[in-house]
Amino acid sequence: MLKREFKIKNSEEIKNILKLGRKIRGNSLTLFVAAGAQTHCRAAIVVSRKVATGAVIRNRVRRVLFSNLEKKFASWEDRAISDMVVMVMNIPEDEKLLNNDLEQCFARW
């Protein structure tokens, strides 16, 4: 699981990134990236109730994406320090498709 220091919890910061950040669209999610003021990358994952009505499903999607981000953050040394918000638009049947979609967004970044 991604450590607390790498997560963005403040809703004002999330709104700021959504408004000012660069938008990269995928099939099932959208990645918003903005320059970060910290010494490391930070991330937030947003899954609306409109996407999944059950909290169990929303939390499962967050756990899957946070575990993928944890691996990414560990391997990034040459990337610029940035804050990012992953907004899930729809949930595919297979969670591998969600991870692949995130990988494609990172490749276009």
Predicted confidence (pLDDT) per residue in 39-64, tens digit: 778 899 999 999 888 999 999 999 99
In this predicted structure, the answer to whether residue 79 has a pLDDT above a threshold of 80 is no
pTM for the model stands at 0.85
- Residues 64-84, mean pLDDT to the nearest whole number: 79
- Name the DSSP letter for residue 97: H
pLDDT band of 80, cuts 50, 70, 90 = low
> From CA 22, how far away is CA 1, in angstroms rounded?
26
Residue 77: pLDDT over 70:
no
- CATH number for the region 4-108 comes to 3.30.230.10
Rounded to whole angstroms, how far apart are CA atoms 101 and 67?
A: 14
In this predicted structure, what is the pLDDT of residue 69? 85
